[in-house]
């Protein structure tokens, strides 16, 4: 039996069974042909390869890379917002009140102290060790597969 005949038989079987797109994607994944199919079906100018030296570390379509980065940004924004929202800042150390000779109160606010406090809170909200960063990146990729 030739390769063409084998292919035709498999195609006929797939039609008879009523294979949907999701199952076909599963079959392509199991055959180890996902990257090849993406490369063949996606215009080459739309492929972004992230390389380290000569090795391709990740391959995304332009849209996938945008979605990946957008999800990372959204997660960072949410973590930052939660960290700041849940922090009780000590404003007493940032505000200086002074009563002058005319019985006027002047208020000085140390804006730099506030920014330093916020930066510390944000730093504490993110785990930046290699394992944590890797876990977050793979979690986003898994999240993208579900969407």
CA 44, CA 59: separation in Å to the nearest integer?
Answer: 11
For the chain, domain boundaries: 61-146
Q: What pLDDT is recorded for position 147?
A: 62
Q: Tell me the average confidence (pLDDT) per consecutive run of 10 residues in the chain, 147 residues long.
A: 82 86 85 79 65 70 80 87 82 85 88 86 82 81 71
| Phi and psi, residue 2, nearest 5° | -80, 165
Q: What is the pLDDT of residue 69?
A: 83
Q: Is 109 exposed, middle or buried (0-12, 13-18, 19+ CB in 10 A)?
A: exposed
pTM exceeding the 0.85 threshold for the entire prediction = no
């Amino acid at each position: 039996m030739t390769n063409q005949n084998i292919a035709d038989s498999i195609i006929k079987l797939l039609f008879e069974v009523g294979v949907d797109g999701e199952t076909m994607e599963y079959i392509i994944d199991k055959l180890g042909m996902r990257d090849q199919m993406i490369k063949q079906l996606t215009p080459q100018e739309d492929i972004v390869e992230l390389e380290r030296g000569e090795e391709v570390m990740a391959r995304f379509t332009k849209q996938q890379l945008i979605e990946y980065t957008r999800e990372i940004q959204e997660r960072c924004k949410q973590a930052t917002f939660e960290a700041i929202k849940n922090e009780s800042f000590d404003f007493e150390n940032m505000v200086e009140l002074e009563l002058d000779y005319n019985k006027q109160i002047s208020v000085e606010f140390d804006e730099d102290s506030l920014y330093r406090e916020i930066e510390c809170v944000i730093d504490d909200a993110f785990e930046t060790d290699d394992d944590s960063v890797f876990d977050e990146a793979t979690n986003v990729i898994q999240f993208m597969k579900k969407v």
